[in-house]
Chain A
């Protein structure tokens, strides 16, 4: 079974971003970039499926600038077999990304597509579901457990009230939640080997996809800040403040 994993290059999750002075966006100059944490979980899940003999080939794809090759090499070092870069320096919305992924799905014909549930930069949580609509595949979003059985995949999902399990006909799309697995680190020999694995570069035009958007960002501002309050010395003082000053209990 061929598995397609989609990953995104984002600002590292440890970086505290700053809004640009002209309110045009956040300042990403000289900021550490990494693979989106949910995408690392997606790569790990695919590698585990290959180790179990369920997956035969793992193709990793990203849509982004030329520098996103770094994240593809990381995925290759973790165990993906080959990589595709859909090169675009524009900041694309989820629908455009889903359309590009649909074109890659049409070409590669995977049985399973695994991707993160959301990117920690735009916090959209849309692309997997949109790809589901465009391909007609079933979707198992926010997955905490994935089991392939015959021509179906059972996905346990983290929902507001607890957990839900659905059975999807293959081909299907899975989006990962935090507790699906704990991603491994790439070993040095695997990082060296990854440099020799195939990496193909295409453009949205090659795929015949228009990336036009109906949404534009007018401005980006810093949120209202919360200032630190006071330190209380005892539980009794805390209760007194909550009752008489804040009046919340």
Chain B
């Protein structure tokens, strides 16, 4: 049994979610190979080779793979993946975009966002915004799976010494082209990897008021997130959304500020170790999941909290 893990990366650096995906592969058991598909992605291949428990790194270095266009990358993965028992990718926007295309090309079902490995063919995954957990079993020859990072502690980034092998294959399918991107720049930790997350909701009233949360986050070394309501209202950009259809986080400490606690938001953060809710409405559903609730006006409480921590 050999498992192919698709590396998540920026061509320059390996993304931490890859380490959680390798951890899921290790739970399944068997040899683990990592595929790095990209352009000028040498540093990523080198980093992938050092991941603890990885036996081999396959590198497909081609301009067609620079922006992870699924029309180009999926045929490559499907071709390489035929000989493997499992193909795993992180359930990031990139993994979600590419992997179902791979599964259909291989004529197998995909299992999305697993949170636990029961055995080599049986997995647990949340459905209905996390209000139910399904245990599913796959009889597919190649099991194609995306992995929710919060379900698996990352393996060590160092300690391995895997051989690196260049592979070729499908290139530009000619169906799609990269036009551009607007990436958020931030000195704060990445939302899904942060130990502490401070999130704001509709109660923040406007985007400018998020400065209170940024000040608190900087003092705590935290990332800043938001509810769908805050993103839809245009307070902050979409990449900050935590919830069923945004990012799934499970930090040590989650501070929800001015967030009522819709089930769609809870789906994205209820596995956090400690949850703090600050809301002036004492009936807000967020208090039903909070370890520590503070009924207060956030515009008084947040600056005071920033001073005291």
A125 contacts across to B, CB distance below 8 A: 96, 100, 112
B194 CB within 8 Å of chain A: no
- Complex: A163 Cα to B177 Cα, angstroms: 15
Q: Is the CB of B237 within 8 A of A95?
A: no
Say yes or no: A17 contacts B128, CB within 8 Å: yes
> Would you call B157 an interface residue if the criterion is a C-beta within 8 Å of the partner chain's C-beta atoms?
no
Does A136 touch B at the CB level, under 8 Å? yes
Contact A231 B294, beta carbon cutoff 8 Å:
yes
* A-contact 0/1 string along B9-28, CB 8 Å cutoff: 00000000000000000000
Residue among A11, A132, A213, A217 facing the most chain B CB atoms (10 A cut-off): A132
Tell me whether B93 and A142 are in contact (CB under 8 A): yes
**Contact in complex: B292, A162 (CB < 8 Å):** no
Query: CB-CB < 8 A to B107: which residues of A?
Result: 95
Cα A232 to Cα B296 with chains together (Å): 10
Residues of A within 8 A of B175 (CB): 136-138, 168-169, 172
Bitwise interface map of B from 110 to 151 toward A, beta carbon under 8 Å scored 1, else 0: 111100000000100011111111111111100000000000
Let me know if A164 and B181 touch, CB within 8 A.
Answer: yes
Residues of B within 8 A of A222 (CB): 131-133
**Is B105's CB within 8 Å of the partner chain A?**
yes
Contacts of B174 in A (CB 8 A): 169
B63 at the interface (CB under 8 A from A): no
A62 at the interface (CB under 8 A from B): no
Closest residue on chain B to residue A122 by CB atoms: B127
Q: In the complex the two chains form, is B253's CB within 8 Å of A215's CB? A: no
Known contacts A123-B126, A220-B133: A229-B104 contact under CB 8 Å: no
CB within 8 Å for A160 and B239 given contacts A118-B245, A123-B126, A166-B69: yes
B179 touches A160 (CB 8 A): no
The docked-state distance in angstroms from the alpha carbon of A165 to that of B180 is 5
Is B292 a contact of A230 with CB atoms below 8 Å? yes
User: With A167-B177, A223-B132 in contact, is A239–B292 under 8 Å at CB?
Assistant: no
A88 interfacial contact with B, CB 8 Å: no
Report B43-80 CB contacts with A as 1/0, cut-off 8 Å. Answer: 00000000000000000000000010111001000000
The 8 residue pairs across chains A and B that have the minimum distance between CB atoms: A229-B291, A129-B100, A130-B104, A133-B104, A138-B175, A126-B100, A214-B140, A165-B179
Q: Is B164 an interface residue (CB 8 A)?
A: no
Contact between A231 and B293, CB atoms less than 8 A apart: yes
Given A162-B239, A242-B253, A139 contacting B101 (CB threshold 8 A): yes
Bound together, the chains give a CA A46 to CA B122 distance in angstroms of 39
Residues in B neighbouring A134, C-beta threshold 8 A: 104
Q: 21 A-B pairs, CB-CB below 8 angstroms?
A: A17-B132, A95-B103, A118-B245, A123-B113, A125-B112, A128-B100, A130-B103, A132-B104, A133-B100, A161-B239, A163-B182, A163-B237, A166-B177, A168-B176, A218-B135, A223-B131, A223-B132, A226-B270, A229-B290, A239-B308, A246-B274
Cβ–Cβ contact A132 & B134, under 8 A = no
Q: Is B209 an interface residue (CB 8 A)?
A: no
Which chain A residues (183-226) contact chain B, with CB distance < 8 Å? Answer: 213-223, 226
Nearest Cβ on chain B to A30's Cβ, whole angstroms: 17
| Chain A residues packing against B (C-beta within 8 Å) | 11, 13, 16-17, 19, 26, 93-95, 98, 117-118, 120-134, 136-139, 141-142, 144, 154, 157-169, 172, 177-179, 213-223, 226, 228-232, 234-236, 238-239, 241-242, 246, 248-249
The residue among A98, A131, A231, A248 with the most chain B CB atoms within 10 A of its own CB is: A248
**Other-chain residue from B128, B138, B296 in contact with A235 (beta carbon distance below 8 A):** B296
Other-chain contact of B288, A141, A162, A215, A228 (Cβ < 8 Å): A228
Give bound CA distance, A39 to B282, whole Å. Answer: 34
Complex Cα distance, B112 from A124, in Å, reads 6
> Which of B104, B244, B304 has its CB near the most chain A CB atoms (within 10 A)?
B104
Please name all residues of chain A whose beta carbon is closer than 8 Å to the beta carbon of B276 when the two chains form the complex.
238, 242
- Is the Cβ of A159 less than 8 Å from the Cβ of B274? no
Question: With A and B bound together, what is the CA distance between A93 and B294 in angstroms?
Answer: 43
A19 to B126, CA, bound (A): 12
| CB-based contact B135/A219 at 8 Å | yes
Residue in contact with B287 in the complex, picked from A122, A128, A228, CB distance below 8 Å: A228
Q: Are A235 and B140 in contact (CB under 8 A)?
A: no
CA of A169 to CA of B252 in the docked complex: distance in angstroms?
45
Q: Is the CB–CB distance between A215 and B136 below 8 Å?
A: yes
Q: List 13 other contacts, CB 8 Å, given A159-B93, A226-B270.
A: A26-B128, A128-B100, A130-B110, A132-B104, A138-B176, A142-B97, A162-B238, A164-B67, A214-B140, A217-B134, A223-B126, A238-B292, A242-B309
